Chains A and B, each alone.
Chain A
Amino acid sequence: ETGVTQTPRHLVMGMTNKKSLKCEQHLGHNAMYWYKQSAKKPLELMFVYSLEERVENNSVPSRFSPECPNSSHLFLHLHTLQPEDSALYLCASSQGTGPGTGELFFGEGSRLTVL
């Protein structure tokens, strides 16, 4: 049990579908993150929320839409994706967003396949 739960663990969708990834953290943290992990590429930061406010949007295409309704939940809404968006999407949380606020805690990831 990592304290960060992601659902679904696996998702297959067509390019015209709309789906959402969900993340929930049980650690009382104030910051939440979405990362994308593709084969043979470094982990890419997508979005950062601090106290439910988006503080980082790392040039992510608009077909990815994040939502943070409260400090414990984070969603990634997906629509009209491309096959190259197939990847492992990792959610993480931390106490804060300053450099000295310590480590990020990761969920198990949602494996997305776009057909």
Chain B
Amino acid sequence: AQSVAQPEDQVNVAEGNPLTVKCTYSVSGNPYLFWYVQYPNRGLQFLLKYITGDNLVKGSYGFEAEFNKSQTSFHLKKPSALVSDSALYFCAVRSANNLFFGTGTRLTVIP
């Protein structure tokens, strides 16, 4: 069975500091991993994905994620946080007919 876990409900970071939003996964077979962002009263926006290849994946808005097979992790990172990055972030893993989401992490960037 496919699942992801986001251990932190809330992450606070000062503007300009690096940010990390954590995700661990459990899959049978090859992992297909995704990050999405949701702003208030909006749908989910795709940020980046890992399918195969380089363990460091670059995505939209300066975000990147590092795939670590030994630790079964796929943490989202950004070198310098912006206030506008404040939102709800979801990690997800793909199966045949579904995208299984984590419970989400609310990121707050403090000016």
Contacts and interface: CB of A to CB of B under 8 A. Distances in A.
A71 B28 CA distance: 30
Task: Give the interface SS of chain B, mostly helix, strand, loop or mixed.
Answer: loop
Contacts, number: 60
Interface residues of A, number: 28
A48 B49 contact: no
With a 10 A CB-CB cut-off, give which of A2, A6, A55 has the most chain B CB atoms: A2
B96 A98 contact: yes
Contact of B32 (A2, A33, A97, A100): A100
Interface string B18-55: 00000000000110101010000111111001010000
Interface size class of B (residues with CB under 8 A): 20 to 34
Contact of A45 (B34, B41, B98, B102): B98
Interface of B: 29-30, 32, 34, 36, 41-46, 49, 51, 90, 94-99, 101-104
20 contacts: A4-B43, A6-B43, A42-B102, A42-B103, A48-B97, A56-B97, A56-B98, A90-B43, A92-B99, A97-B96, A97-B97, A99-B95, A100-B32, A100-B51, A100-B94, A103-B34, A106-B43, A106-B46, A109-B41, A111-B41
Interface of A: 2, 4, 6, 33, 41-43, 45, 48, 50, 55-56, 90, 92, 97-109, 111
In the A-B complex, list the 9 residue pairs whose CB atoms are closest, starting with the nearest: A106-B43, A106-B44, A43-B101, A108-B43, A56-B97, A48-B97, A103-B46, A99-B94, A109-B43
